[in-house]
Amino acid sequence: MVRAAALAAGIPHTAGASSVNRFCSSGLKAVQDIANQIQLGAIDVGVALGAELMSASGDRLDRPFNEEVLRNQEAADCMQPMGQTSENVGKDFDIPREQQDRYAAESFRRAEAAQNNGWLDDEIAPIAVKVKDPKTGEVKEVTLSRDDGIRPGTTFESLSKIRPAFPQFGDKSTGGNSSQVTDGAASVLLMRRSKAIELNQPILAKFCGATVAGVPPRVMGIGPTAAIPKLLSKFQLDKNDIDIYEINEAFASMAVYCVKNLGLDHAKVNPRGGAIALGHPLGATGARQIATILSEARRTKSKILVTSMCIGTGQGMAGLFVNEQL
């Protein structure tokens, strides 16, 4: 599928293609893989991209694991739906519904402000798609140039009226304080510095590296609290050295926990809103976060940047970037 898509996009057949899957971090993992190949000298240029058709899929495996695997409790916990893991985080770490709704309202407020101010414009490449009207069945072609998931005017009061999305597991996570179901794609072009200079291409940023860390699968949402400290330690940085954080808001429960547990200034985290407002197309998010954080860094003249996300089955990933658009 990836090979066919690459050829259809105009990439010559002489270039290779491969796919990678690490759930919510797949986009960042693709960036890391391309960077590793460049560093090893295998390639000079690579395109890392992520895409997801959430409207046609879900987060459950088609069938359970083998019985031997399920005898291990943590392995069995990997089967828990994401909504259940969100409720686990809310219960285990005492994060009340009100706190989650207030966090979600702020995510929507920031995203709406960013869109109204035109800050999202340079993140988005307009694309023509065919859309079928669910009522009439009429198919028409439209050009998408704006994120259509942001819900203007969303408030804490309106969010607090939404019923729980996973009542069989708890009463804190809702359709309003969880990342919405969204289709999406994003890509990042990486080059060896000398090649970019040779081709007279603008250098937007440097990718320094990424780390992965594991957490209990039943509370997979806390993954960034393991991945970010590991990343900062690797590069001998302090949390206060980072100018902007993009932490994926799979659910408000995990976002609230991560910001508090890591002791971060919320003003530095997702300044344009996060996945609660923008959506979380699993494979695309890791690449989308890079586009977002580099655009925001260019606007605010910020330098040291971190992206991070939790990963289904109990992992977290974090990437470090240095803005060169100062």
CB under 8 Å to 148, separation ≥6 — which residues? none
Q: Which residues pair with 300 in a beta bridge?
A: none
- Residue from 13, 24, 258, 266 carrying the catalytic annotation: 24
Is 310 part of the annotated catalytic residue set? yes
- Number of Cβ within a 10 Å radius of residue 97: 19
89's CB contacts (< 8 A; 6+ apart) are: 95, 219, 221, 222, 251, 253, 254, 257
Can you tell me the distance from the alpha carbon of 277 to that of 110, in angstroms, rounded to the nearest whole number?
Answer: 9
* Half-sphere exposure in the Cβ direction for 300 (13 Å, CA): 18
Q: What are the catalytic residues?
A: 24, 280, 310
